[in-house]
Chains A and B, each alone.
Chain A
Amino acid sequence: MSDVPRTVDALGTWCPVPIALMRRAMTGSAPGALFELLADDPLVAIDLPAWCHDSGHVLEEMSDADGVWRARVRVVANPRGAPRR
């Protein structure tokens, strides 16, 4: 599994859009796939860990600099609450 993340650029959008974009991008991805979220809504610092906790996806890193949050999330098998395809 590649560790080059697929980037979800949510800069300028406000919660819940960043989380919804991540959820949509990750839907159908193989377990182990890595995603990177870029967001500048401060609420993402609360919403993303909470969503990862609920869904089971693994929040591997999260940092902020100059008002931009970068977070890496790894897909798990059978996440909770995922839409069925």
Chain B
Amino acid sequence: MRGVYFDHGAASPLLPEVRAEMERWLAVTGSPMSLHEWARGPADAVEEARADVAALLGWHPDTVVFTAGATEARNLAVKGAMWARGANPPVLVADPLAHASTLAACRSLTRIAGELRLADVDAEGRVVVSSLAALAPGADLVTITHGQAEVGTVQDAVPLVAAARAAAQGIVVHVDAEETAGLLPMHDGLGADLLSIGGRVMGAPAWVGALLVRPGTPLHPIIEGGLEESGKRGGAHDVPAIAGLGLAARIAHREMHARSAWMRACADRLATGLLATPGVRLNGPPAAERLPGHVQVSVAGVEGEALALALAARDVAASPGSACTFGAGKASPVLEAMGRDDEAARSAVLLVAGPSTTDDEIDLAVRAFADSVDTLRRMSPDAP
């Protein structure tokens, strides 16, 4: 492919070592669940991956339930915990910046009966602790997004988890760590009962993920039918992807700090370059509180989708506002929740650097951005 890639929030390349590991397991026959010798290699690969993922997040291997990606892990957390609890009607608390799949699972559970309560966030996307604590009494589950995928806000999760527990005895706490696992250090799964992760951020396939389940947390499978994953997720193991995730977790454990430092430096250079264009505003908190590599800006007088297309025509891959809701035809509810107006929400564009991004690529993207904004503004009667 031509051009430069700043859409790591949507898809990211496999690490070469991960790809090689996956290819090795694609050539192997045998289910980890079988009792004969053909099972031994795949079963060992899955258990080794389980240990590597657990080590990255500071939990015990027995807590890891592999899934087909982070979206399934989030659905399993919310629906599985509530089905196991028999919460009827369920009362759920979420942050309004949660991934679309988290909110969809919450809305699905409370569609007929129950309640979804959304906590307040400040103008830079931080969840207001007192708001979360005020909503938690009487709730069955609270879900917190550790790293926000659009504006990049990283929550100080541990105090939020503690506030929810203090306000509601026995509440189930889910933390979505898809964007942060492998980039930011975690101890004891941030104190959550359920921690969802995905492979994309650490150079494994996006179609593999995991839910970490604290011992003693009841969880009913949402995909039923087998004893795989301790009865908590039926269906054949994707051995190549799981082995790839395990290796990626092992590498991330080793290289996390250097990788994050480089991606933060990329984001700084990128943000400085983009903000040099007049009428451009950074969304989200300062770099130290943002996901490494993340830069989302709103551009006065320009539609985010048009800008992403103009960038694509200049060989720069980026996303309009959100990597996940493109095509929905709606302004970002995330920016709306942060108190930004409709124009800011509709004019947002997201660029996410990866571990292999170079300074030259950033400079090229900045030039293409300035040229695209200039061109689009010349076409717009509303432009400043």
A associates with B:
yes
Q: A38-B216, A85-B35 are in contact. Are A12 and B84 (CB under 8 A)?
A: yes
Distance of B81 from chain A, by nearest CB (Å): 8
A21 touches B227 (CB 8 A): yes
Bits for B191-227, please: 1 = Cβ < 8 Å to A, else 0: 0000000000000000000000001111111000001
| Interface residue B232 (Cβ < 8 Å from any Cβ of A) | yes
Bits for B218-262, please: 1 = Cβ < 8 Å to A, else 0: 111100000100111000000000000000000000000000000
B219 touches A17 (CB 8 A): no
B231 touches A11 (CB 8 A): no
B231 touches A20 (CB 8 A): yes
By beta carbon, the residue of chain B nearest A85 is: B35
| Interface residue B62 (Cβ < 8 Å from any Cβ of A) | yes
Chain B CB within 10 Å, residue with most, of A17, A27, A83: A17
Bound form: Cα–Cα A20–B218 in Å:
17
| Interface residue B80 (Cβ < 8 Å from any Cβ of A) | yes
Bits for A36-77, please: 1 = Cβ < 8 Å to B, else 0: 001010000000000000000000000000000000000000
Bound form: Cα–Cα A9–B231 in Å:
9
Bound form: Cα–Cα A27–B84 in Å:
27
Bound form: Cα–Cα A62–B14 in Å:
48
Bound form: Cα–Cα A11–B230 in Å:
10
How many A-B Cβ pairs are below 8 Å?
Answer: 45
| Interface residue A10 (Cβ < 8 Å from any Cβ of B) | yes
Interface size class of B (residues with CB under 8 A): 10 to 19
Query: Majority SS of interface residues in chain B?
Result: loop
Bound form: Cα–Cα A19–B205 in Å:
34
Contacts of B215 in A (CB 8 A): 7, 9
Bound form: Cα–Cα A83–B83 in Å:
32
Contacts of A9 in B (CB 8 A): 62, 215-216, 230
A17 touches B227 (CB 8 A): yes
Distance of A21 from chain B, by nearest CB (Å): 5
Contacts of A17 in B (CB 8 A): 227, 231
Distance of A17 from chain B, by nearest CB (Å): 4
B216 touches A11 (CB 8 A): yes
| Interface residue A78 (Cβ < 8 Å from any Cβ of B) | no
Bound form: Cα–Cα A38–B80 in Å:
17
Distance of B74 from chain A, by nearest CB (Å): 17
Contacts of A13 in B (CB 8 A): 84, 220-221, 231-232
Bound form: Cα–Cα A24–B80 in Å:
22
Distance of B61 from chain A, by nearest CB (Å): 13
Contacts of B221 in A (CB 8 A): 13
Bound form: Cα–Cα A17–B84 in Å:
13
Bound form: Cα–Cα A38–B62 in Å:
14
Bound form: Cα–Cα A24–B220 in Å:
19
Contacts of A12 in B (CB 8 A): 80-81, 83-84, 217-220, 232
Which residues of A, 1-27, contact B by the 8 Å Cβ criterion? 7-14, 17-18, 20-21, 24, 27
Bound form: Cα–Cα A21–B215 in Å:
16
Question: 15 A-B Cβ contacts within 8 A?
Answer: A9-B62, A9-B215, A10-B230, A10-B231, A11-B218, A12-B84, A12-B220, A12-B232, A13-B231, A13-B232, A14-B220, A17-B227, A20-B231, A21-B231, A38-B216
Given A9-B216, A11-B216, A11-B219, 9 more contacts at CB 8 Å? A9-B62, A9-B215, A10-B231, A12-B218, A13-B232, A17-B227, A17-B231, A20-B227, A84-B35
